[in-house]
Structure 1
Amino acid sequence: MAEAQPSDMPLSPADIGYSAPRTAGDALHRWYIIHQWALNTVADAFISSRGGIDTLLEPGPRRTLVFTVRAAAEGTENGGNPAKMFKLVNINIVKSEEHYAIAKRSEYMQQRCDNMNADLRGRGIFYVDRTFAGMFCAAFIVAGTGVVNHERIALHRLPLRHVPADLNDSRTRRVLAQSVQFLNTVITSGAVLRYRDSDPREEPERGHYVRTRRSWRFQPLQDDQWESLVLSANRNGATLPSTELTTSEMLTLFDARGSFLTLRNLGG
């Protein structure tokens, strides 16, 4: 039985700063592209904490990775900062045919993923990049509205660094949870972590988006400036979320050095 749609959908696109569902969806896609390093890593940490990618890919009902977000006042289609348009509320793995927001298109989206994976397998991508586990269906849902974006996210079997590789280890599980919280704080602040053009496997480039005359553009920041930006958006204005690792260790928790990060760096 499909999950029932919430009876209270009080917000229209106009209520969250957009003229139509399409413009809200376009803004949501751009926000995803801007924060794709952080959101991909949130997915890595969440999936790892739930048993890992192989558990996710086990035979059975098809599943979708669902990111629930909330529209933010800082970002509207009328010139708002595209890195601050939404805030991540929750991430979950659901049975595709049982979720109200994605059930209708789940079969179509899954077929697209299957076709893409078949094409990538035929081109030898799975052989060239042995960490690549395939494309997986994801959905971004704006809470309280009917706005839903369907995306495809690249999954990789990336080894853990700085903590034991055992997912049953208590410290490993704590750090995975801390990673999700840490990156959520980063995203909420409007600070950006971006794949490096020189080598996307390296520690991400830190920066933010600044307004020019005609558009918003990415501007790199020094490490201390970037952390100050994150802190300034923190409610307490004092510290980053408590973690057992340093910031640099948190940003290299997943070891991508043996991967090409196939289809992860989509630009932005």
Structure 2
Amino acid sequence: MERYSFEDSVTVRTALVGVCDGCKADPDKTGIKLKKCTGCSAVWYCSKKCQTEAWPLHRTMCREQSKKSSTHELGFSSNASLANAIKLWGNIHVWALQTIVDGTAHRIGGGVDDHLENQRAVIVVLTQKKHTDPSDRENPAKAFQLGEVYLVHKDQREFLSTQWSHLEAYCKTMTDNMRAKLSEEESRAFAGFIPAAFHFYTTGMVSFNQYPLYRLRAHGGGPSYNYPRTEEETMTCIEVGYHCGGLVNQGLVLRAPEGDDNAALPEFGVYKKTGKKSWGWGHAKGWKWYESEDYKPLAEIFRRYHQLLAHRNYERVLSSALLQRIALMKVWQR
């Protein structure tokens, strides 16, 4: 199949979750019944009026836009269903992706505050994963292959520059809401949210997410610009990103142990079928950090990275960050 360049990209807004995609009405609060869009089976509406009014924005999500490739050939009914699959994959691998984004932001350029103030975004390049085991094809944790992750200025990618006012405003809303819930010390460690563009290189589709960035412990958790990096700091950020990406592509799912996002070492698991159409996380068989000589070097890399970050000094910051992020992601501001 012919692949797209960045110039061919089609930007797709991720579908709203559990509410009308038009008026945002919540059936749990209003008692209304939602009906699924028959074109993409990925979004819901409370009325024909809402569906008609939402169509100009929904058209790209619902229909294939190019004859060069087809999402149907890849197993997705529409751009919307592909965007939802990417969102689910991103939520499953949130611990690893957060670590990769943080590490990338700390090792490149002038630091996290410099990135946020100078309109930079993270690009996450994905392709469809090739499965040797047929049973893996339905596994949402193994749906995509993680490629490059890097930072660019908004004007370097048209799909960023054309969407930037919305992306920047949304990140500011998320930043302000989260900062209001943090203590003074926690707030000093938190720099803000940065946009992340998930570029599905196989078809050129782009969907967006956001990740919180945190400052380094070496600078007291306060803002820093063009700070000097030691060779060890740079290598730690490179290594932790490399290993997280490799583990994701192996199908392993990292998560905070017992929900403690302040812990240095994540738990390692896999996604398994828990029902006919449901999947859930379970510990990877035989994986124990302290009993395996093979994995002690990797554990040491995670510990070194843990020591670099100011927010790991505090007990609540990441947990509150993720809770706030989950709440805000339920509503997409057009």
TM-score (norm 2): 0.63
The residue number in structure 2 matching 1:211 is 273
**Aligned-CA RMSD value:** 3.2
SS at match of 1:69: strand
Cα 1:223–1:134 shift into 2, 3 Å: farther
2:312 to 233, 243, 257: 257
The residue number in structure 2 matching 1:71 is 128
CA positional deviation for 1:64: 1.2
**Cα distance in 2 between the residues matched to 1:153 and 1:13:** 27
CA positional deviation for 1:13: 1.3
Cα 1:98–1:11 shift into 2, 3 Å: same
**Equivalent position amino acid for 1:185 in 2:** G
**Cα distance in 1 between the residues matched to 2:145 and 2:235:** 23
**Cα distance in 2 between the residues matched to 1:149 and 1:224:** 34
Cα 1:152–1:9 shift into 2, 3 Å: farther
**Cα distance in 2 between the residues matched to 1:223 and 1:168:** 37
TM-score (norm 1): 0.77
Cα 1:9–1:43 shift into 2, 3 Å: farther
**Equivalent position amino acid for 1:208 in 2:** V
**Cα distance in 1 between the residues matched to 2:80 and 2:97:** 22
Cα 1:72–1:126 shift into 2, 3 Å: farther
CA positional deviation for 1:169: 2.3
Cα 1:188–1:79 shift into 2, 3 Å: closer
Native 8 Å contact 1:159 1:254 kept in 2: no
Listed as ranges, the matches of 1:11-30 within 5 Å are 11-30=69-88
The residue number in structure 2 matching 1:246 is 297
| Number of residue pairs the alignment of both structures matches | 241
CA positional deviation for 1:149: 1.4
Native 8 Å contact 1:65 1:94 kept in 2: yes
What do residues 129-171 of structure 1 show as CA deviations (whole Å, max 9, x unaligned)?
13111112111110031321111111112438xxxxx853223
Cα 1:167–1:224 shift into 2, 3 Å: farther
**Equivalent position amino acid for 1:54 in 2:** D
SS at match of 2:240: helix
Native 8 Å contact 1:88 1:187 kept in 2: yes
**Equivalent position amino acid for 1:114 in 2:** K
Native 8 Å contact 1:9 1:145 kept in 2: no
**Cα distance in 2 between the residues matched to 1:39 and 1:135:** 14
Native 8 Å contact 1:131 1:258 kept in 2: no
| Greater relative contact order structure (CA < 8 Å, 6+ sep) | 1
**Cα distance in 2 between the residues matched to 1:83 and 1:103:** 30
Listed as ranges, the matches of 1:226-237 within 5 Å are none
Matched, 1:176 2:237: yes
**Equivalent position amino acid for 2:97 in 1:** L
Higher helix share: 2
SS at match of 1:224: coil
Cα 1:63–1:126 shift into 2, 3 Å: farther
Listed as ranges, the matches of 1:30-179 within 5 Å are 30-50=88-108, 51-58=110-117, 60=118, 62-74=119-131, 80-121=138-179, 123-125=180-182, 127=184, 129=186, 130-159=188-217, 168-179=229-240
CA positional deviation for 1:41: 0.6
SS at match of 1:149: strand
Sequence identity (%): 24
Native 8 Å contact 1:70 1:88 kept in 2: yes
Higher Cα Rg, which structure: 2
Unaligned runs of 5+ in 2: 10-65, 219-226, 327-334
**Cα distance in 2 between the residues matched to 1:189 and 1:17:** 21
